């Protein structure tokens, strides 16, 4: 009876934040219901409550209009460059006029009707509303929080990480990954004893969250040794004739002095994030760099999961180095992932008949012979 294959847990899950799931909006609805219940239980006269409510609504719309007016004072000097010479484009970019004006008229009319003709009180309230809103703008209290900015950037796909991940996929991974298995097949035929485990026939992409990339893996960890290059792929790309794409095969030495082989390289776009954090002109802090590196991993993972032609040809390895320098941290991380892949392959073979390299095993001896060797 076949055992159910369980998907292994994502090894980078503790490091990579998930996408926000709208809990803030649901919390808004809960607090709204609580406030409505408090107002109901307070037992205030309905007219007084309606007057205060419409007053607050009107003040909020006045604040939105004042803020839009302040931004418009800047945008009218950029009509040609930013808004194609259209004043209405600039106005709509600063504030949704129809929505705010409609709300302001409705709330203002309701408030005037509830004041019982006290025009002097109306003027005082309008003046105070304008004063309070302008003070909020002057003190910068209207600016969104860091969480709001982060959420807006993620939802609109405008983070640096989104652009880097898509560029990395479209300009590189989408080209090399579908051809990787063929390249490794050629290499395996020429070197049959090197790549014994087909489950590890993947491009192992290192994603250090520090974005600190060492160009020479052998210098980063002495237990990682360059072996040779896989057969190259040559394509005409973006005007360059015969552009060469190739991958390097490395031997990873474990604690028992045994060698495991895999194709491994860093995610090159992380170098851009690191360089930005070192350049004052980019105004990119270390905290920004780490956050963008995590978002880069999550975005790249989502892109590759939806790319059917890349299925089974890659493994993303995100890691966070400890504060203390460890000479063989990287090799241990790679060995851990290789061992996980070996366990995944064994689970598949245990639960179902393996179709990869299926052949009839005939023993020359009368004794039964094993069909698979140990993973290591």
The tens digit of pLDDT for each residue in 143-162 reads 777 777 777 666 765 688 89
* pLDDT reported for residue 5: 35
Closest C-alpha among 200, 196, 330 to residue 266: 330
pLDDT digits (tens, 9 = 90+) for 95-147: 776 666 677 677 767 766 666 656 666 677 778 878 888 888 888 877 777 77
Residue 359 makes CB contacts below 8 A (sequence gap 6+) with none
Q: How many CB atoms lie within 10 A of CB 238?
A: 7
CA distance linking residue 85 with residue 35, whole number of Å: 46
Residue 122 makes CB contacts below 8 A (sequence gap 6+) with 111, 112, 115
For helices 97-114 and 46-75, the axis angle rounded to 10 degrees is 150
* pLDDT reported for residue 372: 46
* pLDDT reported for residue 131: 86
Give the angle 243-246-252 at the CA atoms, nearest 5°. Answer: 165
Give the torsion sign (CA, 339, 344, 350, 356): negative
Burial (0-12, 13-18, 19+ Cβ within 10 Å), 329? middle
Q: How many CB atoms lie within 10 A of CB 200?
A: 20
Closest C-alpha among 223, 209, 348 to residue 270: 209
Supply φ then ψ for residue 186, to 5 degrees: -60, -45
Q: How many CB atoms lie within 10 A of CB 89?
A: 14
Burial (0-12, 13-18, 19+ Cβ within 10 Å), 43? exposed
The pairing of strands 240-245 and 233-237 is antiparallel
Residue ranges of the chain with per-residue pLDDT less than 70: 1-14, 97-101, 104, 108, 111-122, 152-154, 156-158, 196-197, 322-325, 344-376
CA distance linking residue 213 with residue 346, whole number of Å: 33
């Amino acid at each position: 009876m076949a055992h159910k294959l369980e998907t292994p847990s994502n090894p980078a899950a503790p490091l990579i934040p998930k996408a926000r799931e709208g809990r803030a909006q649901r919390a808004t609805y809960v607090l709204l219901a609580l406030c409505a219940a408090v107002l109901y239980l307070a037992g205030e006269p309905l007219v007084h409550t309606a007057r205060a409510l419409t007053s607050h609504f009107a003040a909020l719309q006045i604040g939105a209009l004042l803020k839009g007016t302040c931004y418009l004072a800047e945008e009218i000097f950029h009509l040609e460059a930013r808004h194609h010479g259209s004043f209405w484009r600039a106005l709509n970019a600063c504030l949704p006029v129809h929505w705010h004006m409609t709300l302001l008229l409705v709330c203002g009319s309701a408030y005037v009707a509830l004041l019982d003709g006290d025009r002097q009180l109306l003027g005082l309230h309008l003046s105070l509303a304008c004063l309070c809103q302008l003070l909020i703008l002057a003190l910068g209290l209207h600016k969104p929080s860091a969480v709001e900015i982060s959420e807006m950037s993620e939802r609109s796909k405008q983070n640096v990480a989104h652009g880097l991940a898509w560029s990395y996929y479209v300009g590189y991974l989408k080209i090399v990954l579908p051809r990787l298995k063929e390249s490794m097949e050629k290499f395996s035929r020429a070197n049959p004893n090197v790549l014994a485990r087909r489950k590890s026939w993947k491009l192992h992409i290192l994603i250090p969250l520090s974005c600190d990339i060492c160009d020479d893996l052998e210098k980063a960890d002495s237990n990682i040794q360059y072996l040779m290059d896989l057969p190259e792929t040559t394509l005409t790309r973006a005007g360059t004739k015969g552009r060469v794409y190739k991958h390097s095969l490395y031997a990873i030495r474990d604690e028992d002095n045994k060698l495991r082989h895999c194709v491994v390289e860093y995610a090159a776009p992380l170098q851009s994030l690191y360089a930005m954090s070192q350049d004052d002109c980019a105004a990119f802090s270390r905290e920004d760099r780490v956050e963008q590196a995590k978002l880069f991993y999550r975005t790249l993972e989502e892109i590759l999961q939806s790319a059917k032609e890349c299925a089974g040809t890659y493994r993303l390895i995100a890691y966070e180095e400890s504060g203390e320098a460890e000479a063989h941290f990287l090799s241990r991380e790679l060995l851990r992932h290789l061992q996980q892949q070996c366990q995944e392959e064994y689970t598949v073979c245990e639960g179902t008949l393996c179709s990869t390299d299926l052949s009839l095993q005939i023993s020359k001896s009368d004794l039964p012979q094993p069909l698979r060797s140990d993973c290591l």
